[in-house]
Amino acid sequence: METIIKTIDSNDIDMDIIEEFGKMLREGKTVIFPTETVYGLGANALDEDAAAKIYTAKGRPSDNPLLVHVSDISEVDNLVENVDEKAKLLMEKFWPGPLTILFKKKSVIPDRTSGGLDTVAIRMPSDEVARRIIKAAAVPIAAPSANISGKPSPTKAEHIIEDMKGRVDAILIGGECNFGVESTIVDLSGDYPLVLRPGCVTLEMLREVLGKVEIDPSLMNKDDNIKAKAPGMKYKHYSPDAQVYIVSGDDSSRISKINELIDENSKKGLKTGVLCMSKNLDSYKAKTFDLGNNYEEAAHNLFDELIKLDKEGIDIAYAESFEEKGVGVAIMNRLKKSAGYRIIKA
C-alpha cells in the first residue's frame, strides 16, 4: 500500500497536518504517530475493521489486546463501566503520561480491540502531537507500539520507515521518544494494585500514591512468563537477531568476564557487541553500544541500541545488568525478554 509520510515539529505544531492525520484515523485508516514512550500504530478503537488492520500491519497475534489512547480524562467514562477511587488518584497524578490503567470495558469497545477480554487498557499520552491527533480524530485510538510483532519498539523515525513503510496508510514523524520504554500498565481489579508491565512510572511512584503495589510475579522469570496477565508480555519480544545475554555482577568482574567471552567468540569467528553504560565504553575489546550515563538515559536508548546490534551484524551481544530499582525494573524486564532470560553471573 501507498504510505503517506510527513514530518511535524513538536515545538511548532502544524495544525493542518494534525487535522489531516486525525481525519485519516476517524475514517478507519492506520496511522503511526509519536508518543512520549514509543511510536504507536494507531487506528479507531471503536471500529472493528480499523482495529483489525493493526494486527495485520504488525503481524500481531489476535488474542493480544490493544491499548486505547484518549486525549482527555473526560473520555474515559464513555469507554468503561466504572472509575474507582484508586483509578481517579492515578489519573490525577500521572495523566497525561506513561501510565496505562485497566478498566472493565463498556460494550462500545469491540472484541477486536480488547482481544476478547472484558477489560480495556487506557492511557492518555503527554506527548503534545499524540494528544492533538487523538483529539482531532475525535475517537479513542487503539495504538500498540509501531514495531513488527516480536521486535524492539521504535523510538526513532528511521526504525519506523524501514519496517512499516508500505504496511500502514500514513506515518507522522516527530522527534525521538522521550522515555523510550512503553508505558507502565497497572491492574486495579485485585486485592492490591498489580503492575503488569513496568515502565517509567515506577513501582516506587505508584506506592507513594496507592500504598501496597506489587509487580506481576510471572514477569520475573522465564518459566512463569506464560502466565503473564498482560497477554503481550508472554510472547517473544524485543528480540534482535543477535543472541543477547545479560551479564550480572559488580562492574570490574563483569568487565573481565565479558572480555573473556569476547576472546572465546572471536576464536569461533563470531562478532560480539556489548551494551554498556557510557563510562565503560572503552573497557571492552569488542564493539560497544552506548546506553548512556544513568538509568533514564538507558531506558531512552535501549531499543535503539538493540536495533543497532543487527545493523552492525553482531552475532552475540552482552548487556550489563541493571539494579532492579526505579526505572531499572523496566530496563531489566525488556532486557530479560530480549535475552530470552539468559543471565551470566560474573
Which residues make up the interface to Mg ion (CB under 5 A)? 145
Q: On the CB side of 154, how many CA atoms lie within 13 Å of its CA?
A: 28
Residue nearest to ligand TXA (CB): 232
For Mg ion, give the closer residue by CB, 145 or 218: 145
Give the nearest distance from C-beta 14 to ligand TXA in angstroms.
21
Query: Which partner, ligand TXA, Mg ion, none, binds residue 120 by CB below 5 to 8 Å per kind?
Result: ligand TXA
Residue nearest to Mg ion (CB): 145
Give the nearest distance from C-beta 161 to Mg ion in angstroms.
18
- 248-267 core/surface letters (b: 16 or more CB in 10 A; e: else): bbeeeebbebbbebbeebee
Strand spans (E) along the chain: 4-7, 31-33, 40-44, 67-69, 99-104, 119-123, 141-142, 170-173, 184-187, 194-197, 214-215, 243-248, 272-276, 287-290, 316-320, 343-345
Query: Which partner, ligand TXA, Mg ion, none, binds residue 114 by CB below 5 to 8 Å per kind?
Result: ligand TXA
For ligand TXA, give the closer residue by CB, 229 or 300: 229
Give the nearest distance from C-beta 153 to Mg ion in angstroms.
5
- Strand pairing category for 31-33 and 40-44: antiparallel
**Three cell numbers, residue 90:** 492515578
For Mg ion, give the closer residue by CB, 235 or 341: 235
Query: Which partner, Mg ion, ligand TXA, none, binds residue 40 by CB below 5 to 8 Å per kind?
Result: ligand TXA
Query: Which partner, ligand TXA, Mg ion, none, binds residue 255 by CB below 5 to 8 Å per kind?
Result: none
Give the nearest distance from C-beta 232 to Mg ion in angstroms.
6
For ligand TXA, give the closer residue by CB, 225 or 321: 225
Q: How far apart are CA 141 and CA 55, in angstroms?
A: 14
Residue 104 burial (C-beta neighbours within 10 Å; 0-12, 13-18, 19+): middle
Query: Which partner, ligand TXA, Mg ion, none, binds residue 64 by CB below 5 to 8 Å per kind?
Result: ligand TXA
Give the nearest distance from C-beta 145 to ligand TXA in angstroms.
4
What residues line the site for ligand TXA (CB under 6 A)?
35, 37-38, 40, 64-67, 98, 100, 102, 114, 117, 119-121, 143-145, 182-183, 185, 196, 229-233
Residue 106 DSSP one-character state:
P
